[in-house]
Amino acid sequence: MKNFTLLLVAFLGLSLASNAQRITDVYTFAQTPQDLSAQEAEAMRGTGESALEVAQRGGGTILFYEDFANGFEGNNGIGAWTAEDTGEGMVWQAVDQAGNGYYADGSASGVQPPAGEYSTNIGTINSTTADNGWMVFDCDYFNTPISEGYENTEGWITSPSLDFTNSGSVVITWEQYFRYCCYPYAPIYLEVSNDGGATWTTFDAHGTFIESANSASANVLTTSVDISCVAANSADVQVRFSYLQAPEVGDGYSHYYWGIDDVTISENPVANDLSAVQLTNGDVFNVFEYRVTPLEQAIPEADGGLLAGVLYRNSGNANQDETTVTVEVLDEGGNILSTTVAELGTVNSFANAVNCPANTQDTIYVATGWTPTETGNYVLQATIASANEDENPDDNVRSKVIVYSDDEYGHDDEGALDVEFRPTDSDIAGLFNPAGYGNFFHMHNAGSTAYGVTVRFGPNCGGGDLEFETRLYAYDGAVGLTDSPFEATYWSYDDAWTPGSAETSDYVYLPFEDPIEMTNEGFYFTGLINEFESEAELTVLGNANSDTDNSTGDYGLTGAGDFVWFTSQTATPAIRLILSERVGIDEIANHNGIDLRQNVPNPANGTTIVRFEMLQSRNVTVEMRDLQGRLIQSVQRGQLPAGMHQVELNVADLQSGIYTYTLIADGLRLTKKMMVK
């Protein structure tokens, strides 16, 4: 169940997302219908691209256009649309210029869709020609009031027969917005027939929306699907927009709405147009990608080094031969640190695809052989090219910033916190429902220890009695996340952790009661959870529309009335796993304002980095000794300002064993142990 406040307008009509497949719980839970928050309803409205302009880009020939100005009768010059639904014709509605709804038989619904009890704050579609009419599958209104019972719904609107005999490329583009309940898989599809409706080929219609129940798409979301493999050079083509019970679960879809407008079918005139659709830092289909990775979990060169995933497509109408993908790693100064070229060979156009429907995009994983030697920000960049000159080169390159840290492991982008995860209201007046938020992690390398989490709490967090837990689950696929074993640490919320705004928030470190040894087998999930109604909210900041690797989890209410973890949500909470022993700012002060970190890597071989933080300027020396106290190495750093610093120690000539290193700052001494292998 989703309930969050968007802090900035985050939904973009053509934002990019992968269809990542990763963890699937044995138990897939149905969520419960709920209102959309006023903040999310406002934030989802934006200006998407005009479907007609998208279709005409590059000189595209328009083969068919429908703006629904005449409702079901059509305004396309060819013929009417037919509607069928399981509600005896009372789910699909045509919306006129005044915003009033009409069923296919011409009778008025008496409402202005979407008009169900959970859609009162949605408003009309924000399409290019919404003022002259549009279509909506309003299953929320059909099932209102829910107190009198509800049913799962299906239905479709079908175009007149279209002749594409002379068209070797056929692309359909439309403007839409939608929200659904009660499973994560989107129940909206585009179906295409080339034999008078005897058989239909089904395409996903949710576009770039990251699938999640109870989350609203952008308004509008302009979506394009290349249907050439069915429609090209065919004389009797029909398309239909179908709301169906998703095959992954079979049923469970009863609410809310699907609005459609400005349906445009065009012929793609561009022959050579490869696109780099998305770039990932890791294998998002089998494990996860991370924005922030601790050095000790960087993939070693022996295991292939940094793994880049490049999602690409051939958006042109001609096959592309001798296609290559070039992956580069750059430092912050733009210097190239690594270059890897992968050969794709021939990339087929949609019309020539081996399978129909063709994948909207394909993926190649490139092992770069590169591994970082120090912390910092790096740029991962991928470029796709073929033997032909690309006619739209602007989308041939994708890049993203990745971070290697001392000890932080995280999916979130701290510079783009635009959503606040919040609990729903309880049935008990004045209280909030249980809530929880978290992320999945995996360990590529053995030997790490988890010491706690850092959290960016939201501006609405706290303000009353609030107890919660931090948990680290060892995921057990046989029972699902909710019933997997976990270690818990109990907390009473401190209102001093509540920021004034997202911009002024900071990570709060919450150590586990005891360090937890991690393995490189299986998956972990860490998060915050409040299992009871409370008078104060537990809220966390995060990134909207960002869960491209199915790594998130949200604790909410099932249709059966139980609270469970729902995985693979659309937004990413700012909760990071910490893999070294830390102290809070108050504890740093108790150590005279000095915090000495564990060396990285540990065990060390060759060189190792010692990092430390000071709250004031001090004269610094770092010493390394064996267990007999003999001085091995001394590094004089002189007077250093307040802040975070690091010293590199050379251990290449040392025998394997345990040593100590000591930070001496103005005579104050802090010592830790390290291992050399």
CATH of the domain at 135: 2.60.120.260
Same structural domain for residues 599 and 632?
yes
Say whether pLDDT at 51 is over 70. yes
Distance of alpha carbon 605 from alpha carbon 602, whole angstroms: 8
101 and 185 part of one domain: yes
* 153 within domain boundaries: yes
Return the pLDDT at 559. Answer: 76
If asked whether residues 105 and 250 sit together in one domain, one would say yes
Q: Which band of pLDDT confidence, cut at 50, 70 and 90, is reported for residue 6?
A: very low
Confidence band of 15 (pLDDT split at 50, 70, 90): very low
Note if the bond before 145 is cis, omega within 30 degrees: yes
Length of the chain: 677
Compute the chain's Rg from CA coordinates: 28
Residue 634's domain comprises 585-676
**Strand-pair partners of 537:** 462
Averaged pLDDT for residues 625-651: 91
Name the more confident of 63 and 21. Answer: 63
More confident site: 137 or 570:
137
Lowest mean pLDDT among 27-31, 102-106, 203-207, 299-303: 27-31
Residue 670 above 90 pLDDT?
A: no
> Do 467 and 542 share a domain, yes or no?
yes
Query: 256: which 2 tokens?
Result: 């809310």
**Res. 16: pLDDT tops 80:** no
Look at residue 43 in the predicted model and tell me its pLDDT.
62
List all residues 6 or more positions away from 361 whose beta carbon is below 8 Å from its beta carbon.
18, 277, 278, 311, 312, 313
**156 Cβ contact partners less than 8 Å away, ≥ 6 residues apart:** 83, 84, 85, 191, 240, 241, 242, 243, 244
What Å distances lie between residue 544 and 82, 157, 656, CA to CA? 37, 32, 47
Nearest-angstrom CA–CA distance, 523 and 23: 9
Query: How sure is the predictor about 47, in pLDDT bands with cuts at 50, 70 and 90?
Result: low
What is the total count of domains within the chain? 4
Mean of pLDDT over the chain = 90
pLDDT the model gives residue 17: 34
Whole-number Cα distances in Å, 307 to 22, 329, 365? 17, 11, 7
Considering the domain boundaries, does residue 9 fall inside one?
no
165 has a pLDDT exceeding 80: yes
Helix (H) or strand (E) holding 436: strand 435-441
User: What is the reported pLDDT for 13?
Assistant: 31
Output the six-digit token pair for 367: 């092992």
Confidence class of residue 358 from pLDDT cuts 50, 70 and 90?
confident
Last residue of a domain, one of 355, 385, 406: 406
Q: Which two tokens stand for residue 404?
A: 């290697």
Tokens 């019970």 locate to: 245
Question: Residues 107, 160: one domain?
Answer: yes
Between CA 477 and CA 484 the distance in angstroms is 8
Considering the domain architecture, whether residues 75 and 145 belong to the same structural domain is answered as: yes
Q: Helix or strand or coil: residue 589?
A: helix
Q: Are residues 58 and 152 in the same domain?
A: yes
**H and E: helices and strands count for the chain:** 5, 42
CA–CA gap between residue 332 and residue 323 (Å, rounded): 29
Angle at 212 between CA 23 and CA 498, to 5 degrees: 95
Q: Mapping DSSP to helix (H, G, I), strand (E, B) and coil, where does residue 497 land?
A: helix
HEC letters along 622-662: EEEEECCCCEEEEEEEEEECCEEEEEEEECCCCCCEEEEEE
Q: What is the 3-state secondary structure (H, E, C) of 137-159?
A: ECHHHHCCCHHHCCCCCCEEEEC
**46 pLDDT band (50/70/90 cuts)?**
low
Do 483 and 607 share a domain, yes or no?
no
Residue 65 pairs with which residues in a beta bridge?
Answer: 264
The last residue of one of the domains, among 563, 578, 593, is 578
CATH of the domain at 595: 2.60.40.1930
Question: Smallest Cα–Cα separation from 53: which of 108, 13, 94, 93?
Answer: 13
Q: What is the CATH number of the domain that holds 529?
A: 2.60.120
SS3 state of residue 218? coil
Q: Are residues 503 and 545 in the same domain?
A: yes
- Is 35 domain-assigned? no
pLDDT for the residue 8: 36
> Which of 349, 345, 342, 386 is CA-nearest to residue 364?
342
550: Cβ–Cβ under 8 A, 6 or more apart, which residues? Answer: 20, 21, 22, 23, 284, 288, 440, 567, 568
Range 616-640 average pLDDT? 91
The answer, yes or no, to whether the previous bond of 603 is cis (omega within 30 of 0) is yes
Task: State the pLDDT at residue 22.
Answer: 40
3-state secondary structure of 301: helix
| Domain end among 267, 291, 319 | 267
Give pLDDT tens digits for 191-223: 999 999 999 999 999 998 988 888 899 999 999
Per mean pLDDT, which range of 529-543, 574-588, 636-650 is the poorest?
574-588
Is pLDDT above 90 for 590?
no
Exposure on the CB side of residue 398, measured as CA atoms within 13 A: 19
Measured from the Cβ of residue 487, the count of other Cβ atoms closer than 10 Å reads 17
**Residue 664 predicted with pLDDT over 60:** yes
Please name which of 280, 309, 311, 300 lies closest in space to residue 369, comparing C-alpha atoms. 300
The answer on pLDDT for 520 being more than 80 is yes
**Element spanning 231, H or E:** helix 228-231
Q: Are 92 and 85 in contact (CB under 8 A)?
A: yes
Q: How far apart are CA 137 and CA 91, in angstroms?
A: 6
**331 lies in some domain:** yes
DSSP state of 395: G
Report pLDDT for 20: 40
Residues 270-310 pLDDT 10s: 999 999 999 999 999 899 999 999 999 999 999 999 999 99
* Residues 129, 238 within the same domain: yes
CB atoms within 10 A of CB 325: 20
Are both 296 and 377 inside the same structural domain? yes
- Using alpha carbons, select from 86, 87, 97, 103 the residue that is nearest to residue 130: 97
Q: Is the pLDDT of residue 511 over 50?
A: yes
Contact between 410 and 450 (Cβ < 8 Å): no
Identify the H or E element spanning 586. Answer: helix 585-590
Ramachandran quadrant class, 257 (left: phi over 0; alpha: psi -120 to 50; beta: rest): beta
Token look-up 């990092």 returns 611
Q: Which of these, 453, 422, 452, lies nearest to 436 by C-alpha position?
A: 422
- Are 462 and 567 a contacting pair, CB within 8 Å? no
586, burial (CB in 10 Å: exposed 0-12, middle 13-18, buried 19+) = exposed
Q: What is the DSSP string of 527-539?
A: EEEE-S-BSSB--
Could you tell me the two tokens for 366? Answer: 């490139």
**pTM for this one?**
0.76
The answer to whether position 2 is within a domain reads: no
Contact present, 129 and 262 (Cβ < 8 Å) = yes
Angstrom distance (rounded) from CA 102 to CA 95: 6
Which of 355, 323, 349 lies closest to 270 in space, CA to CA? 349
3-state secondary structure 329-388: EEECCCCEEEEEEEEEEEECCCCCCCCCCCCCCEEEEEECCCCCCCCEEEEEEEEEECCC
Is there a single domain that holds both residue 641 and residue 663? yes
CATH number at residue 300: 2.60.40.10
Q: Is residue 411 part of a domain?
A: no
Q: With respect to residue 119, please indicate whether it lies within any of the assigned structural domains.
A: yes
Q: What is the pLDDT of residue 587?
A: 58
Q: What is the pLDDT of residue 55?
A: 84
Over pLDDT 70: what percentage of the chain?
Answer: 92
Q: Note whether 582 and 653 are within 8 A (CB).
A: no
Whether the pLDDT of residue 5 is over 60: the answer is: no
Predicted local distance difference test score (pLDDT) of residue 39: 65
Residue 602 lies in a domain: yes
